[in-house]
Structure 1
């Protein structure tokens, strides 16, 4: 039987120890508490715990209204991302944006990454309702501004506002679920939101194509707005919870916010984003601007860590001092560090595949853009059920380490196999590889956050979730710029195989990725086309080698995870108020028993 050892006491053989939630949030988590399972623990021990404890509010109208509203906001988010990706070439051409088009995506990505840590801290200081509603409202306002834009300089600010909203929705949806459901069972409800997100991701490209062909590209930004309005109204009415330190004045709580840390982190992230956006494409990596930007970003992150270390020590000794926006106690033990690394790797690899596979299908197999979209469907078709099965398994068994190891190992093998694909590969080959990759992705995509949250006390759930989301946002930023840079650099090294000097010059200077399309290849002479396809294929293979290495390192780190008991008892300072038109009981048993 899995048992939780008494706080501070030694572990009995065959038991797990959970992170102690009775200590003050300013105390660091003891790394020794994150102990691996004994080999003596048998399968039957995984099925039950010593205590039967409460796990969530009653699953009544209010609970499901909040979950549905959060799912609607995730659907809105996915629609916006995928529709904009489909319509972006038309938008760029219509508004005459030139090379500034990269900031349509990167401006939103930077804003999304920057908002996560401060919003998590604000939700701890002032409660969940206002930051959540503000996030949805910002997304809606940003969509309206973007749809009404008459030029690039008008569109980019709208996209930045949308990015702030998107980052807020990502972090606050996870935080709110952590207030509703115990860490053991919350993965199931995150899977509901993932399903809504993937529904939007699948339908978005189709809707984007229809809107562009109809000449109504502005509706690319306006279409998700109704989902946001409904989500905002439902959350504003139902999401009314308690506030930690409610007796403190607003001024006292504002004094505890980490303004310096937020500014330094945002500046460092922006500096690194500039470098990875333009390095290897607009400017060579040896350019002084790229080197300076990268150096400033790395130094900024170092300064941020020093600042957070100082604030963590100060807050340990004085509860009235500034609270660090990203407490280092979240990462200074094996469990937190390895799971955070896994979160970065999983987000990076997921977007890496979505970026690189279309290059293979269009630039090597010469598929049309619409057919390339269809060829990505096996990933969605397998990843969703695999994710749902994985979180249900975690809820039943309370175990996740084996899923993380197997998931990253599967992705490592799949990325290695992707590297051998060429123009002559059969359909069954890439389909089986996509299935293997998706099975691995499904095992980790929704089980990493509960593992990260389970390693810290309930009082740290807000900052833990925002830190986790920030790590994922950094990965999302890197997931396009990294493979594009590797692809272009690899292509440049192989470009000598192309005999036509004019074609070679056209594809040089970091421009190869933009020409990996069927339309471009069909315009070439037969000899040049064969040569270009061959170089495209080898360049893509080189990028998959790097992806396989990343997945392999993530699998090794997962082996080092210190698995902890996922708490079944929900203890939160932000419980829902007992009445808001309907009765809510906070201490019902889980329905999963």
Structure 2
């Protein structure tokens, strides 16, 4: 990198080998006034995040109804897991492709796929068609989430990243908060199909906005042959096959076959062995690995990935099972279960702002991680106290605590994971982080659902009316934890027995969640506090000049006409 001459009191301006410009504020000020184009891009990314975040939670209130309407039976887990499978299976490939072909077109392709998949899901007339639509939707949703984070990391330095990620996460949290409410409202007042159709106009607006606003620089694309040679197709194929195999075992386990059956164990074994072979190939053979060794072998990065897995696990755990508590224990409708879950979802966004802002000001992530995981662990322990007689204040406050713990972590995990890594690994490390989040989301549905189904199955033998036992056996309990099913039981005594079984089974689910959250808190202690970089050097910044609010006097001629790659060094 070659640095230009500067005079005292003015920012240092340096031009890198790719033609980008690095700006260093000499006195350490980080007062950077971003352009209108920058904020337009942030707003368009936030709107895209809103679209995908609504989909992440809107189905939680509607899933029992959808399963019953389409006759999904034990295959209900494929509705969320099909989405999560597609969300994560392409992440390493897309992250690597974004380094080769740039960010813009991959982002637009992801949004288009998500919108198309939403339309297919809304028009589904069978469980198979719904799952197929969810897979397409997931391919787009996963790519969208990945590219939003990648573009943001290209626009702002690591030290400031938490603050701007918090902005996008706030919008995501609003969408997550609206999701259960909209899902319950649409299911009860109209049809569950609008749970998916609602994403079509939102996705269309998002696609149009990004098409006109997302104008980011990218390195010159070489010939197709040379570009494709830089993508690790064989390694990604191994990764995809392994992921599919693991998720088949996860989805079948407990719902279709017993966990100890060969139909479950064989796919799981093949999948995890495949992951092992994938790592060996990536680290010893691949010329352009999609998972460099440095991403997961550095202690702090590896620890933050593990904490990310557990945080996401516990967050979605609560997302999916608070509605089950409301519908199966408190006998509330899908609509009112979405309303009652608002403290959990709505509480996320102010805490995300706080976490991101504090990280940007303070620059220390480990104390925030310890605080967030401690609150999350406490909230799950308190969830286990809930039963059919719990007060509104109890379940509302407990949800708010969970939102505080999860919200504090939302915007500060990725910057912490990238702190010890080289800036060249931004896209690949973001892909790995996004995969861990998505992979965790699958287990966040599967583990509590398996515990709930197993507990209900064991307790079904205690029913006075054994004609009701089949509804709780064979993994069917989840789809019958609804107000409509309970209202259809004419004998009040039998209804109370079913409710008590649901209540005690959910309590076991919360016990298990508490253990996972506590493990996450212990893992945080393994993190090292690494200083967050305040300088950004990227080839993918905005195609315009950044204005630094300093006394830029003598160097006007040096910077005019250059495409500034938004690189600020306030140190």
In the TM superposition, 1:218-367 aligns within 5 A as 218-244=193-219, 246=220, 248-311=222-285, 322-367=287-332
CA contact (8 A) 2:374 2:518 kept: yes
What is the deviation of 1:298? 1.4
**Corresponding residue for residue 133 of structure 1:** 108
Question: What SS does the corresponding residue of 2:245 show, helix, strand or coil?
Answer: helix
Distance of aligned partners of 1:206 and 1:281 in 2 relative to their CA distance in 1, 3 Å threshold? same
Q: Deviations over 1:476-510 (max 9, x none)?
A: 11111110001111223333432322222331222
**Corresponding residue for residue 99 of structure 2:** 124
Rounded Cα–Cα distance in structure 1 between residues aligned with 2:379 and 2:106: 39
Rounded Cα–Cα distance in structure 2 between residues aligned with 1:153 and 1:531: 34
Residues 1:497 and 2:462 aligned together: yes
**Corresponding residue for residue 397 of structure 1:** 362
Rounded Cα–Cα distance in structure 2 between residues aligned with 1:110 and 1:309: 25
What is the deviation of 1:99? 5.1
Distance of aligned partners of 1:191 and 1:579 in 2 relative to their CA distance in 1, 3 Å threshold? closer
**Corresponding residue for residue 496 of structure 2:** 530
- Unpaired segments ≥5 residues, structure 2: 1-15, 17-24, 547-560
**Corresponding residue for residue 28 of structure 2:** 52
Rounded Cα–Cα distance in structure 1 between residues aligned with 2:127 and 2:460: 34
TM-score (norm 2): 0.86
Distance of aligned partners of 1:282 and 1:545 in 2 relative to their CA distance in 1, 3 Å threshold? same
Distance of aligned partners of 1:119 and 1:548 in 2 relative to their CA distance in 1, 3 Å threshold? same
Rounded Cα–Cα distance in structure 1 between residues aligned with 2:185 and 2:509: 32
**Corresponding residue for residue 413 of structure 1:** 378
**Corresponding residue for residue 10 of structure 1:** none
Distance of aligned partners of 1:54 and 1:533 in 2 relative to their CA distance in 1, 3 Å threshold? same
CA contact (8 A) 2:166 2:357 kept: no
Rounded Cα–Cα distance in structure 2 between residues aligned with 1:410 and 1:83: 25
Rounded Cα–Cα distance in structure 2 between residues aligned with 1:181 and 1:438: 27
CA contact (8 A) 1:459 1:573 kept: no
Question: What SS does the corresponding residue of 2:277 show, helix, strand or coil?
Answer: helix
Which of residues 177, 188, 210 is equivalent to 1:202? 177
Distance of aligned partners of 1:507 and 1:151 in 2 relative to their CA distance in 1, 3 Å threshold? closer
Distance of aligned partners of 1:249 and 1:67 in 2 relative to their CA distance in 1, 3 Å threshold? same
Q: Deviations over 1:397-430 (max 9, x none)?
A: 1011001011111111221121122222233322
Distance of aligned partners of 1:454 and 1:103 in 2 relative to their CA distance in 1, 3 Å threshold? same
CA contact (8 A) 1:55 1:568 kept: no
Distance of aligned partners of 1:300 and 1:577 in 2 relative to their CA distance in 1, 3 Å threshold? same
Rounded Cα–Cα distance in structure 2 between residues aligned with 1:60 and 1:583: 15
CA contact (8 A) 1:54 1:570 kept: no
Distance of aligned partners of 1:205 and 1:416 in 2 relative to their CA distance in 1, 3 Å threshold? closer
Bigger CA drift: 263-272 or 342-351? 263-272
Alpha carbon RMSD of aligned pairs, Å? 2.8
Rounded Cα–Cα distance in structure 1 between residues aligned with 2:363 and 2:45: 25
Q: Deviations over 1:321-371 (max 9, x none)?
A: x31111121111210111000111111100001112222222223333333
**Corresponding residue for residue 505 of structure 2:** 539
In the TM superposition, 1:365-376 aligns within 5 A as 365-376=330-341
Bigger CA drift: 399-408 or 269-278? 269-278
- How many residue pairs end up in the alignment? 533
What is the deviation of 1:200? 2.4
Which of residues 531, 547, 550 is equivalent to 2:516? 550
CA contact (8 A) 1:95 1:150 kept: yes
**Corresponding residue for residue 456 of structure 1:** 421
What is the deviation of 1:53? 6.9
**Corresponding residue for residue 19 of structure 1:** none
CA contact (8 A) 1:112 1:165 kept: yes
**Corresponding residue for residue 566 of structure 1:** 532
Rounded Cα–Cα distance in structure 2 between residues aligned with 1:500 and 1:200: 42
Rounded Cα–Cα distance in structure 2 between residues aligned with 1:93 and 1:417: 31
What is the deviation of 1:453? 1.7
CA contact (8 A) 1:281 1:509 kept: yes
Rounded Cα–Cα distance in structure 1 between residues aligned with 2:215 and 2:534: 23
What is the deviation of 1:60? 1.5
Rounded Cα–Cα distance in structure 2 between residues aligned with 1:397 and 1:125: 35
CA contact (8 A) 1:120 1:465 kept: yes
CA contact (8 A) 1:53 1:589 kept: no
**Corresponding residue for residue 113 of structure 1:** 88
In the TM superposition, 1:132-151 aligns within 5 A as 132-151=107-126
CA contact (8 A) 2:414 2:433 kept: yes
Distance of aligned partners of 1:466 and 1:279 in 2 relative to their CA distance in 1, 3 Å threshold? same
Rounded Cα–Cα distance in structure 2 between residues aligned with 1:210 and 1:536: 24
CA contact (8 A) 2:365 2:416 kept: yes
